[in-house]
Amino acid sequence: MKRRQFIKAAGLGAVASAVAAPAIAQSMPELKWRMPVSWPKSLDTLYGGAEMMCKAVAEATDNKFQIQIFAAGEIVPGLAIVDAVQNGTVECGHTGSYYYFGKDPTFALGTSVGFGPNQRLNQGWYTLGGGREMLNEFYKNYNVISLLAGNTGCQMGGWFRKEITSVDDLKGIKMRIGGFPGRVLQKLGAVPQQIAAGDIYPALEKGTVDAAEWVGPYDDEKLGFYKVVKNYYYPGWWEGGTALHFFVNIDKWNALPKAYQGLITAAAGYANLEVQAKYDARNPQALRRLVANGTILRPFSQDVMEACLKASTEVNAETSATNPDYKKMWESQQAFRNEENLWWQVAEYSFETFMIRTRPKS
């Protein structure tokens, strides 16, 4: 996509004035930024979305503003992106904010928590429900700001060596799970492990973990989990609409010309749409291939789902009682989701439920 084409395509509303061609022509300093990401290069959805951002910004500025991407582990560990951006080791990074809940549980609400909103509700809350303002006010405490730059949609429940027929089956299971929901599983007796994407397969293969979740069929197939584990559970109640973030060091962001800020904002929005579209387009066929290769699809039972919901509710209540930032953001997110569900029940849910029931079987 050429520079003027990108400007024309991305420059809608407020962004249009920020990235107008005359503005860029007047103020186009040469800049080179580094952007580590939490993803291996093999994941052309997540890594590809970040790469797309870099390419769009470069082309829109005739290569005057270049953002060099680095895969997980190349210059920064995959789960240390925010740390590197915060301390100025790099200018920016692409990651999931929930990886950093150890700093503060509020980080989890930027990406996904157990039984949280789906992709569209999450995005609606962020864009028009006060989420963007609350998150960036919180992120200032860590010297970063963020832009939405991708979403996976609802994820799968992961790969298990043994069948999960009851809540008791979760006890003692060592499970790779990203973000805050690990605390929910702890309540049910599981032992959560936070492991970067590229390290999950060897952990499963060696038996270091008994179960693992990543995203869904397309990525999970690429990472090869089906070769060592056959039970594939759904749904991933901990990630109903996983938002990914482009984090920028605040000082570096404030030093940018407004035109460049506008371009980055537009490029992040472009990636945000593209990543979700890729998953929607690629997951169905990947799921078929997995099943053809011996994967056994299994739903979590109603009892397991209800126990997880109860434990999740307890974790949110306990965290809110001691963390005002979490409480404020969680209550805002839930109020937005509950209001939106009224509309979904009337139109979206009833329509899609009918279409799913009546779709041709193949």
pLDDT digits (tens, 9 = 90+) for 64-96: 999 999 999 999 999 999 999 999 999 999 999
pTM of the model: 0.91
* 3-class state of residue 240 by DSSP: coil
Percent of the chain residues topping a pLDDT of 70? 92
CA distance 237 to 223: 21
Helix axis angle for 46-60 and 258-292, nearest 10°, is: 150
CB contact set of 117 (below 8 Å; sequence gap of 6+): 125, 240, 241, 333, 336, 337, 340
Measured CA to CA in angstroms, residue 138 lies from 38, 83, 141, 326 at distances of 21, 15, 6, 10
pLDDT of 23 above 90: no
Strands 31-36 and 296-299: unpaired
Q: What is the mean pLDDT of residues 256-274?
A: 96
Rg over CA atoms, the chain: 21
Structure tokens at 282: 């690629």
Cβ-contact 221, 291 below 8 angstroms: no
pLDDT at 242 exceeding the cut of 80: yes
What is the rounded distance in angstroms from the CA atom of residue 329 to the CA atom of residue 340? 17
Closest CA to 67 of 126, 149, 137, 139: 149
**What is the DSSP annotation of 331-352?**
HHHHHHHHHHHHHHHHTHHHHH
Q: Fold for domain 3-153+240-280?
A: D-Maltodextrin-Binding Protein; domain 2 (3.40.190)
Average pLDDT (336-353) is: 94
Q: What is the mean pLDDT of residues 180-185?
A: 93
Domain regions of the chain by residue span: 3-153+240-280
Q: Checking phi first, is residue 348 left (phi over 0); if not, alpha (psi -120 to 50) or beta?
A: alpha
CA distances from 67 to 53, 104, 124 (A): 9, 29, 28
User: Percentage of the chain with pLDDT > 90?
Assistant: 91
